[in-house]
Structure 1
């Protein structure tokens, strides 16, 4: 099985201007090589048949993706409209400023199969393409953000995958994201 770091994931996980809330201590090439040379602790099913999650012990100093919201940090939440790429419509997102998450124990790598990536206009030569990565304390997936689930349901034309909305998964997502937020340095 071969794994390729897609341009979409590369831009998000390894931005040109490095940030403390992205993958640390390795280059995109080293990250891709590590995924191809080291078997994951476990493989989880993703939200659709073409999606798999490879759980790796964190070999970097990458910090957790999210921080729990509490009375002590709620005042540090910010929000704004953003698009992930120049071709997508902006959506409302929120994040912490002035909070730093602990170092993650696990990197949960989100992979899409070659056929799905071709359908989305991003063909690859490998079997699987990295589309994202979750940095977590537990070796489990954190729920996809509600807006990402909605974007996916809109279809590939809007930057999604064309997978219908699962109402129960959406409810679980809202429960998680009401109590947690991403952070930015």
Structure 2
């Protein structure tokens, strides 16, 4: 089984200008090589049959992506309308500024199979393509953000995957993201 890093993931996980809240200490090429050379500690089913999550112990200094919202840090929350790509419509997002997250224990690579990526307009020369990565303290998936679930339900034309909305999963996502936020450094 061969895994490649999609361009969508490359620009988000390894931006041209390094940020404190992205993957640290390695290049995109080294990340891809590690995923292919080291078996994951766990393989989890994703939100659809074409999605798998490969859990790896963090071998970098990458920090957790989500931070609990407390009375002490609530004033550091920011929000704005942003799009992940030029083609997507901007959506409301929120994040912390001025907080430090702990170093993550796990990197959870989010993989889509070759057929799904082709449906979404991305052709890869591999079995699986990385579309994202979660940086977590536990070897499990963080709930997908509610807006990502909605975008997926809208379909490929709007930057999603075409998977219908799972109302129970959406409620679990809202419960988590009501008490946590990403951070930027």
Q: Same fold (TM over 0.5)?
A: yes
Aligned match of 1:125: 125
Query: Alignment length, in residue pairs?
Result: 185
Aligned match of 1:134: 134
1:146 Cα deviation after fit = 0.1
SS in 1 for 2:86: coil
Q: Does 1:8 align with 2:8?
A: yes
Q: Does 1:184 align with 2:181?
A: no
Give deviations 1:20-57, integer Å, cap 9, x for gaps.
Answer: 00000000000000000000000000000000000000
Aligned match of 2:40: 40
SS in 2 for 1:61: coil
Q: For structure 2, which runs of at least 5 residues remain unmatched after alignment?
A: none
What CA distance in whole angstroms lies between the structure 2 residues aligned with 1:77 and 1:109? 26
Q: Does 1:150 align with 2:154?
A: no
* TM-score of the superposed pair, with normalisation by structure 1: 1.00
1:71 Cα deviation after fit = 0.4
What CA distance in whole angstroms lies between the structure 2 residues aligned with 1:30 and 1:4? 11
Aligned match of 1:113: 113
What CA distance in whole angstroms lies between the structure 2 residues aligned with 1:76 and 1:19? 18
What CA distance in whole angstroms lies between the structure 2 residues aligned with 1:48 and 1:140? 16
Q: For structure 1, which runs of at least 5 residues remain unmatched after alignment?
A: none
SS in 2 for 1:64: coil
What CA distance in whole angstroms lies between the structure 2 residues aligned with 1:12 and 1:115? 22
List structure 1 segments (4+ residues) > 6 angstroms apart after TM superposition: none
What CA distance in whole angstroms lies between the structure 2 residues aligned with 1:75 and 1:166? 32
What CA distance in whole angstroms lies between the structure 2 residues aligned with 1:106 and 1:163? 27
Aligned match of 2:56: 56
Q: Does 1:30 align with 2:34?
A: no
SS in 1 for 2:178: helix
Give deviations 1:96-151, integer Å, cap 9, x for gaps.
Answer: 00001000000000000000000000010100000000000000000000000000
1:163 Cα deviation after fit = 0.2
